Structure 1
Amino acid sequence: MTLLEVSGVSVTFDGFRAINNLSIAIGEPELRAVIGPNGAGKTTFMDIVTGKTRPDEGRVLWGELSTDLVKLSESQIAKAGIGRKFQKPTVFEDQTVRANLSMALKNKRGPFAVLAWKAGAADNARIVDLAAEVGLADRLDHRAGDLSHGQKQWLEIGMLLAQDPRLLLVDEPAAGMTPAEREHTTDLLKRAAQTRAVVVIEHDMDFIRRLDCRVTVLHEGSVLAEGSLDHVTQNQQVIDVYLGR
């Protein structure tokens, strides 16, 4: 089933066309990698899907009802089931891993509900499960600021998974990680994509190869090629504009 369909989307910034008649379809579940040279439109694509940037034309259709995300606010899009992880991890460093995951759980978020809310047995079990899922089971009561860079990345992914998104957008997760951390991150994203859509922007081609998924190559705001990594890396246009650099 197609979960997200970006159709004929274009956006211009100060005369520069960052996205040019872009069309991409993402299934559910699916793991997809998006690659391309700097300025290809990768981050702008994520900005459009999450409502941070409004396109000049085109539609971004979501879910079974084909809701046009262009007409929704950023908060409405997040509530619809789209989570985004930026390159730099954003966690509450003075709080424990447990507290970070607890705050991220999908519960009522009104001001009075937050003040009155306390984690119940089911919530605590979910927190333990999330910590295990991202590889932080033995760090639950550690301060998030004391985690390594890679562990902070995993915590943020866990916080997004706590919201139970149908689509997870992840920007350059391998940046700054050790080889062992990159391997763990690969496994984490592949597991997450068994039950939801996961879109990964990444420059590390070894990391992309380990993901073993469909790859979309962007160039000048459009799709240049799409298919397996072996398929797109043998495309002469991809070699000329990206791999040959």
Structure 2
Amino acid sequence: MTDVVLAPEAPASTRKSTLLELSGVSVSFDGFRAINNLSFQIGEPELRAVIGPNGAGKTTFMDIVTGKTRPDEGHVLWGEKSVNLLKLSESRIAREGIGRKFQKPTVFEAQSVRENLAMALKNPRGPFDVLLYRKTEDGARRIEEIAREIGLADHLPRTAGELSHGQKQWLEIGMLLAQAPRLLLVDEPAAGMTPAEREHTTDLLKRLARRHAVVVVEHDMEFVRRLDCKVTVLHEGSVLAEGSLDHVTSNQQVIDVYLGR
């Protein structure tokens, strides 16, 4: 395994308290080691970009954090009490405050933007609660706040299927926010967006990272540069390099296995 090359350590005053920690995590599928002794930490709040070639382990990393995949070995600890996520179900992990947005938006296209956000609100909600959400003052206020945050305040009555690709991405991020997450895992948010949508998405993620931990998996280096955050480079299931984008892109190993392709 190649040596991990790290940027200079940040001053103590700028460090974040650790929210999620993976240590010594490995998992194999049919003899192929998708994750190999992976260690990773993110604080709260913090914005992190994760990059790497296809097959580097980015998706499997997110699968492990959300409970979809169980590693063969290692530890995944969460929060101030170091909760062992490997003992929790996917639904329990989501309730702990970990939200994931996949690359392809998964919104309810036949429902309005308002209804999509209402269905996602974090609270015990039966079917009649969802139907009557307009009569819930706190819920209605929260929906308005989220819609303003994601830039869809003027689109609340619209059917989600009428939205542009970028707007659907923002709506899905809003649906995650409705669940009151502490960590958001966002997969390739810039894919398929117009330049204006990409700029809006950059600004949105940077704002969210002032209050949440946000991990963005992305291939677009220009988009990553605009995020202006710490970057983790994965290769063959391990961390190859970490630091600023300039730091990791000047690393010869990163150039050889990823940027030079």
TM-score of Structure 1 vs Structure 2, range by shorter chain: over 0.9
Which residue pairs with 1:193 in the alignment? 209
What is the TM-score when the length of structure 2 is the normalising length? 0.91
What is the TM-score when the length of structure 1 is the normalising length? 0.97
Give, in whole Å, the separation in 2 of the partners of 1:119 and 1:47: 37
Q: 1:61 aligns with which of 77, 82, 96?
A: 77
Q: Secondary structure at the match of 1:122?
A: helix
Q: 1:5 aligns with which of 18, 21, 34?
A: 21
Preserved CA contact (<8 Å) 2:133 2:139: no
Give, in whole Å, the separation in 1 of the partners of 2:127 and 2:200: 37
Distance 1:117 1:141, change over 3 A: closer
Q: Secondary structure at the match of 2:77?
A: strand
Query: Which ranges of structure 2 fall in alignment gaps of 5 or more residues?
Result: 1-16
Which residue pairs with 2:143 in the alignment? 127
How far has the Cα of 1:119 moved from its partner?
4.5
Give, in whole Å, the separation in 2 of the partners of 1:117 and 1:130: 15
Which residue pairs with 1:237 in the alignment? 253
How far has the Cα of 1:109 moved from its partner?
3.7
Which residue pairs with 1:39 in the alignment? 55
- The answer to whether structure 1 residue 144 and structure 2 residue 160 are counterparts is yes
How far has the Cα of 1:123 moved from its partner?
1.1
Q: Secondary structure at the match of 1:4?
A: strand
Distance 1:119 1:56, change over 3 A: farther
Q: Secondary structure at the match of 1:174?
A: coil
Structure 2 counterpart of 1:76, which letter?
R
Q: How many residues end up aligned between the 2 structures? A: 245
Structure 1 counterpart of 2:219, which letter?
H
Q: 2:32 aligns with which of 11, 16, 21?
A: 16
Q: Percent identity, please.
A: 80
Query: Which ranges of structure 1 fall in alignment gaps of 5 or more residues?
Result: none
Give, in whole Å, the separation in 1 of the partners of 2:114 and 2:88: 32
The structure 1 segments of at least 4 consecutive aligned residues displaced by more than 3 Å after TM superposition are: 109-119
Preserved CA contact (<8 Å) 1:216 1:225: yes
